Each structure stands twice: as C-alpha cells, then as structure tokens.
Amino acid sequence: MEPTQNTNDDTHDRTVAQHDPFDDPNVTAYALGELEIPEDLARVEALIDSDPRYREAVDAIRQTASVLTAELGAEGGPTLSADQRATMAEQIQKRSTETGEGPALKYDGKPVDMNPALWRRRSFWACAGMTGIAACATFVAMWPSLFEPAGGGRSELALRVESDATEARDCAQRAVAA
C-alpha cells in the first residue's frame, strides 16, 4: 500500500528530498555555493555528513556545473553581422538627427549617439552635488545671523541659549565639586 501524498507543499518537499537529494533545491544551492541562510546551510551539511547519497549528489551537481560552465564558455557569445551593425548605426544617426543631439562617438566610421538621458549623465549629478554643497555652505555661513536681530545687538533667542548654556555649565561644575 502506497502512502498518501500530503497536500502541504513544504512537508511534501522535505519528504521527497529525504528520498532523492537531487530534488532538494537547498542541496543544489549548497553545491553551487549559493546557500546563504545559516539554518538551511546547517541542515544540508548535516544531511551530507549523515547520508552518503547527499555527498554524492553534491559532487555530481558540482561536476555538472563545472562541465556546463566550461562548455558554455567555449561556445562564445552571439555577435552582430556587419549588416546588423550598419543598420543600428543608421538608426542611431537618424534618431540623433531628429532629436538634435549630436553623436559622441563613431563606430566603423559612422557616428553613434551615446548621450544618455539627462539624469544619467555624470555632469548632471556633479552639478547637483556642487549645488547642494553650495547651499549647505551658505546656510552654515548665515547661521550666526539667524540669532541676531535686524537692528543689531543680540536676539532674545541667542540670549536664552547663552543663559541655558551658562546654567548647564554651572550645574555640571557643582556636580563635579560635590
């Protein structure tokens, strides 16, 4: 008589993983060095130590990943034909002509528009940063005048702050002396 299948996916996954280590996604993640959750890492390492099938599964997964990495790396990536590159350069030229932005680079003797949007330009962020620094410097330079009244002398706020600071200093001195 076959056991009934539990409808709880988590329990079912653990039951399947106990029977076949290749069906446990944590074993694969462990073998590929991608398992980061300490509890899962400890659980998989315990399974590997206690069951040789898990050690064999980890070795097989690592070997398969190594073969795939080597084979796929040897294939090289896709490349564009000369016609495709020419078509792209023409479309870029057409777009830059329509928008009024001049091309910044040339590829195969044809102009290529490499100007990103304004918020992606480094000069935009440099200007924004310098503006922020200038605003902070202006605020710091004006800070003392915020406490002075327009007619000269000292403002009521400045006098209160000075009085409170003097009181705090005196209190601290009395506490140290006591």
Nearest Cα to 51, choosing from 14, 29, 19? 19
- Give me the torsion for CA of 20, 23, 29, 30, rounded to 10°: -10
Round to whole Å and give the CA distance between 60 and 31. 9
The pLDDT assigned to 85 comes to: 85
The pLDDT assigned to 108 comes to: 67
The pLDDT assigned to 1 comes to: 36
Six token digits for residue 139: 């605020």
pTM, two decimal places: 0.36
| Residue 130 CB burial class (10 angstroms; 0-12, 13-18, ≥19) | exposed
| Residue 57 CB burial class (10 angstroms; 0-12, 13-18, ≥19) | buried
The pLDDT assigned to 117 comes to: 56
The pLDDT assigned to 17 comes to: 45
Would you write out the chain's pLDDT as a tens digit for each of its 178 residues? 333 344 444 544 454 445 688 888 899 999 999 888 899 999 999 999 999 999 999 999 999 999 988 888 777 777 788 898 888 888 877 777 766 665 555 666 666 555 555 555 667 777 788 888 888 888 777 777 666 666 666 667 777 777 888 888 888 888 877 6
